Amino acid sequence: MTNPHALHNPLHIASAYLSAWNELDAVRRRTMIAAVFTADAAYADPMACSAGHEALDGMIGAVQQQFEGLRFRLHGKQDGHHDVVRFSWALAADGAEPVAYGTDVALIAEDGRIRSVTGFLDVMAP
């Protein structure tokens, strides 16, 4: 996927990224992961780390099982500069209060895909 404009659109990047996290259909999710992440993209948050489409897909599938019925949504504003974007998210069941909030920092490759994500937890429900 070549998308030279994505670098300047943190909202677009963040939305596509969270859509991949929320996609429950395995085939569609895999396609979205390939569209969103470079082949060797790396991910790290306080609880997990992985690299490459297959490992990312496995990690996202495991998180979906762990937090069944919950979905990620954008929270607050997105920003970015140079080759980096920052955005915050909430994890919640439809119509319910979020159980967690976090902020992710993503490095963007020249083709507009994410080459690394560093995730942080901002608030976790007790």
Site for a second copy, rule CB under 8 A: 44-46, 49, 79, 81-82, 84, 86, 105, 118, 120-121
Least distance from C-beta 83 to a second copy, angstroms? Answer: 8
Please give the Cα distance from 71 to 92 (Å, whole number).
5
Nearer to a second copy, 95 or 126 (CB): 126
Least distance from C-beta 69 to a second copy, angstroms? Answer: 26
Least distance from C-beta 54 to a second copy, angstroms? Answer: 20
DSSP string for 111-124: TSSEEEEEEEEEEE
Side chain identity at 6, as an amino acid letter?
A: A
Q: Which long-range contacts (CB under 8 A, 24 or more apart) does 48-57 make?
A: 57/29, 57/30, 57/33
Please give the Cα distance from 21 to 114 (Å, whole number).
14
Nearer to a second copy, 5 or 82 (CB): 82
Nearer to a second copy, 22 or 103 (CB): 103
Nearer to a second copy, 24 or 76 (CB): 76
Least distance from C-beta 66 to a second copy, angstroms? Answer: 18
